[in-house]
Amino acid sequence: MTTAPIRRQFGRGATLFREGDPGDCAYIIEHGAVEISAGEGAARQVLATRVAGDIFGEMAIVDSKPRSATVTAVEDTQVLVVSKQQLQARIQALDPVLRMVLGVILDRFRDSVRRMSGEAPSAPAQDAPETVERFSPLAEYSKAFERIELEQTVKHAVSAGEMTLFYQPIVRARDGAIAGFEGLARWNHPLHGILSPGVFMPAVEDSGLMGEFTRWAVHRAAEDAARFARAPGAPENLFVSVNVTADDICDPSFVDFLAHTLDAVAFRSASLELEVTEASLASNPKTAIDVLGKIRALGPSISIDDFGTGYSNLTYLTQYPVQKLKIDKSFVDKLNQRSQDSSVVASIIRMSHAIGLKTVAEGIEDAGQAETLREFGCDLFQGYLYHRPQPFEACLAL
Ligand code: CMP
Ligand code: MG
């Protein structure tokens, strides 16, 4: 494989590329200067001069259309090459709405340049040679529209009470008895029925609704925890957990909100549990330790969710005021396949016990996994092997 050079040098007067060429990279000027021009012969117009620190040649990469102008070195010039792949990977990572906006701005810009130089504005379908990978406005736009629409309907759904929590029972490893429930968000969509978080959570996050959504879920879980606790014949210490991120709980008003909620539902108990993902804790462990301590003081207990996926700093693990550690499903999936993977799980359980934490294994699907986890001393089991998530009333009946 030949790799493209990272830097290139051009002598004064050299042409880097011409208007209409297909584009394969953009450039950042390290030293020197270039002139950007459009048109040929007498119609040639200088559009701009670019100097050290400027980027050029980005348009053809962003919208996969031919070069909009000719670029010539006006001094001896050195450029840093930005590959098509580097730039496009970043554009793909953008929100589809922003991608659409970028495409629209570039189209308008190209049209104004054409109009200024007396050419007709282009019909978008004809201006890219076949060799150029096409930017497909329609596909891009429909993604953007879908996204805008989804965000609007999610916003409505939260306020219209269409969001609900399903509960997945978590059982004791030793006898399979139900020890508690994890609350899992579902959207009870008027047309499409019950939708999973994978479908709507990205829209919740991107539309800035995450804080509101989490508070709704915590309130709901606290209410349901109280209802579970008061149900006739309910086992003692039945816990109900709900998922939050460290960002949610580190919001300065969260602890007050939680105190209010617990008062409102008259349920200040360690049976309400907040599951905080390990990954989210890792970004600001010191604040998290402080906030988690305040939450504990109000009653609720805390577990670390998706453990093993978040590269957390083990020195902090002993400082978090947590009671449980949930072993991520990816570890459970690998159990009994390679002895190394099983050993990792055995060590996580041993370590948890050594620092006084209970362990929950997530996503158990077969009896072999359960058997191994039981041998390792795992305390609690969660997974389709035992129970699927279900509505509150169905869990109450269990
Ligand atoms: P691209 O179309 O890939 O190749 C030519 C480059 O010239 C273009 O990307 C921009 O980086 C730059 N360019 C085009 N038009 C102008 C302009 N009017 N002013 C400054 N830079 C321009
Ligand atoms: Mg969880």
pLDDT tens readout for residues 334-359: 998 888 889 999 999 999 999 999 99
Closest atom of ligand 1 to CA, residue 66: 2
CB atoms within 10 A of CB 85: 12
Pocket test for ligand 1, best of 18, 47, 50, 68 (most atoms within 8 A of CB): 68
pLDDT for 137: 60
Name all contacts of 21-24 with Cβ < 8 Å and 24+ positions apart.
21/66, 21/67, 22/60, 22/66, 22/67, 22/129, 22/131, 22/132, 23/57, 23/59, 23/60, 23/61, 23/64, 23/65, 23/66, 23/67, 23/84, 23/132, 24/61, 24/83, 24/84
Nearest residue (CA) to ligand 1, atom 9:
57
Sign, CA torsion 85/90/92/98: negative
| pLDDT, tens only, 80-102 | 999 998 888 888 888 888 888 89
Q: Which residues contact 34 (CB under 8 A, 6 or more apart)?
A: 16, 49, 50, 56, 71, 72, 73, 74, 77
d(CA 144, CA 96) in angstroms, rounded, equals 5
Ligand 1 — pocket residues by CB below 6 A?
Answer: 23, 36, 47-48, 56-60, 67-69, 71, 113
pLDDT for 132: 37
pLDDT for 130: 41
Mean pLDDT of 316-344: 91
Relative to the alpha carbon of 47, which ligand is closest?
Answer: 1
**What is the CA(60)–ligand 1 centre distance, in A?**
9
Relative to the alpha carbon of 110, which ligand is closest?
Answer: 1
Pocket test for ligand 1, best of 25, 58, 59, 115 (most atoms within 8 A of CB): 59
Is 346 buried (19+), middle (13-18) or exposed (0-12) by CB count in 10 A? Answer: middle
Nearest residue (CA) to ligand 1, atom 1:
57
**What is the CA(243)–ligand 2 centre distance, in A?**
5
Mean pLDDT of 102-121: 82
**What is the CA(242)–ligand 2 centre distance, in A?**
7
pLDDT for 43: 84
**What is the CA(241)–ligand 2 centre distance, in A?**
8
d(CA 184, CA 48) in angstroms, rounded, equals 56
Question: Which pair of tokens denotes residue 85?
Answer: 């792949």
**What is the CA(159)–ligand 2 centre distance, in A?**
24
**Sheet with 25-31: strands ordered across:** 7-10, 77-83, 25-31, 55-56
When comparing pLDDT for 202 and 69, which is higher?
69
d(CA 101, CA 48) in angstroms, rounded, equals 24
Lowest mean pLDDT among 98-107, 237-246, 252-261: 98-107
| pLDDT, tens only, 132-141 | 344 556 666 7
Relative to the alpha carbon of 39, which ligand is closest?
Answer: 1
**What is the CA(326)–ligand 2 centre distance, in A?**
8
Q: Distances in Å between the alpha carbon of 333 and those of 275, 311, 366?
A: 21, 19, 9
Cβ–Cβ under 8 Å, residues 47 and 53: no
Q: Give one DSSP letter per residue of 275-343, joined into a string.
A: EEEHHHHHTSHHHHHHHHHHHHHHS-EEEEEEETSS---HHHHTTS--SEEEEPHHHHHHTTT-HHHHH
Res 125 pLDDT > 50? no
Closest atom of ligand 1 to CA, residue 70: 5
Mean pLDDT of 268-291: 91
Closest atom of ligand 1 to CA, residue 61: 3
Res 179 pLDDT > 60? yes
Average pLDDT, the chain: 89
Phi, psi torsion values for 274, nearest 5 degrees: -100, 125
**What is the CA(312)–ligand 2 centre distance, in A?**
17
Mean pLDDT of 315-327: 92
pLDDT for 296: 96
Nearest residue (CA) to ligand 1, atom 17:
47
**What is the CA(306)–ligand 2 centre distance, in A?**
7
pLDDT for 322: 94
**What is the CA(3)–ligand 1 centre distance, in A?**
25
Lowest mean pLDDT among 14-23, 138-147, 185-194: 138-147
Q: Look at the block and give the residue holding tokens 């462990």.
A: 285
Measured in residues, the chain has a length of 398
d(CA 350, CA 356) in angstroms, rounded, equals 10
CB atoms within 10 A of CB 164: 16
Closest CA to 298 of 326, 325, 324, 272: 272
Q: What percent of the chain has pLDDT over 90?
A: 59
pLDDT for 362: 96
Pocket test for ligand 1, best of 24, 56, 62, 67 (most atoms within 8 A of CB): 56
Res 147 pLDDT > 80? no
143 — pLDDT class (breaks 50, 70, 90):
confident
